[in-house]
Amino acid sequence: MNETLSIYLDFDIQKRGIESMEPMLLKMDEIIKKYGWKYSGMMNLYLPMDEKERDETIYEVIKALSNTEWLKPYKPCIMMGNWMGVTELLKIDVSKMVAPSEQKMKRYEEFYLNTHTLTHGIIVDENGELRDGYTSYLLAMKYDVDVEIMEAWSFKPVKKVVRGNHVTWDGKVCEDKGDKQYCWIYNLREAVVLGDILTVRTKKGYDYIRVSKIGYVTGNTACSRYRKVIRNETADL
């Protein structure tokens, strides 16, 4: 995870010409290089100079570019990227995994059968050992479906995160409060699937969110920046 960084600028090349953009790109590359990343030579893609430090330095680059005043008029869009399919499903070592509870497995399988979608991908370490996503692994094996396989260093923390928007919830019906999406760490024992209603802690107190995406973050910086989910309101419904 965090293997690539893509940067897009609001720059009208046809109007201003590619020549006027080159000095700015060189200047931006120097900032990026200072924090341990370098231009790949391909499109807008940047790669870490030290792979083992990428999970921390990627956030330093993003912060530095976001705070660079002369770049702000160009509205930089900075995107973190993960290599997918880092290994084959059959090659993943699951020998240290513990079987999920029958209830958890049933809920994930029902979601897959109803939507033909796995709730999240699989995380392996640099040795091919499974770190998270065991239920997705089991379902992918059982139903012979494709699944996203990403790699995270064995010496870096990995957390499951949920993304969603704030909603009202009366135990049966929920309504959107807005469209803006936020993230929380999900470390509850109950299964979580898309559409679940969760109780979360915010700056203004407790609130509900509806899950729209489930993924992972890795590294000390990422794993310490989000609050944790308090309760899954729909896990047993």
Domain range for 57: 4-81
User: Does 11 share its domain with 77?
Assistant: yes
User: Does 64 share its domain with 21?
Assistant: yes
Quick one: residue 114, left, alpha or beta (phi over 0 = left, psi -120 to 50 = alpha)? alpha
The reply to whether 237 falls in a domain is no
Reported as a single tens digit per residue, the pLDDT across 204-229 is: 999 999 999 999 999 999 999 999 99
How distant, in Å, are the alpha carbons of 48, 123, 148, 159, 207 from that of 138?
33, 13, 13, 20, 33
Domain stop point among 132, 151, 170: 151
Task: Give the amino acid at 190.
Answer: E
The reply to whether 37 falls in a domain is yes
User: Does 116 share its domain with 77?
Assistant: no
Question: Which residues are bridge partners to 183 per DSSP?
Answer: 163
CATH of the domain at 35: 3.30.70.240
**Residue 222 exposure: Cα atoms within 13 Å on the Cβ side:** 24
Structure confidence at residue 237 (pLDDT): 65
Quick one: residue 147, left, alpha or beta (phi over 0 = left, psi -120 to 50 = alpha)? beta
The reply to whether 46 falls in a domain is yes
- Chain-centroid distance of CA 123 in Å reads 11
Reported as a single tens digit per residue, the pLDDT across 43-52 is: 899 999 999 9
User: Does 59 share its domain with 110?
Assistant: no
Whether the predicted pLDDT of 32 surpasses 80 = yes
User: Does 8 share its domain with 70?
Assistant: yes
User: Does 142 share its domain with 169?
Assistant: no
Domain stop point among 104, 122, 151: 151
Structure confidence at residue 11 (pLDDT): 80
Reported as a single tens digit per residue, the pLDDT across 170-191 is: 999 999 999 999 999 999 999 9
Reported as a single tens digit per residue, the pLDDT across 123-169 is: 999 999 999 999 999 999 999 999 999 999 999 999 999 999 999 99
Domain stop point among 52, 81, 110: 81
**Residue 55 exposure: Cα atoms within 13 Å on the Cβ side:** 20
The reply to whether 107 falls in a domain is yes
Q: How many domains does the chain have?
A: 3
The reply to whether 60 falls in a domain is yes
Instruction: Select from 224, 162, 151, 229 the least CA-distant residue to 194.
Output: 162
User: Does 223 share its domain with 170?
Assistant: yes
User: Does 163 share its domain with 141?
Assistant: no
User: Does 106 share its domain with 140?
Assistant: yes
Whether the predicted pLDDT of 93 surpasses 70 = yes
The reply to whether 140 falls in a domain is yes
User: Does 144 share its domain with 172?
Assistant: no
Tell me the whole-structure pTM to 2 decimals: 0.90
How distant, in Å, are the alpha carbons of 20, 46, 86, 115, 166 from that of 223?
40, 23, 22, 29, 22
Whether the predicted pLDDT of 13 surpasses 80 = no
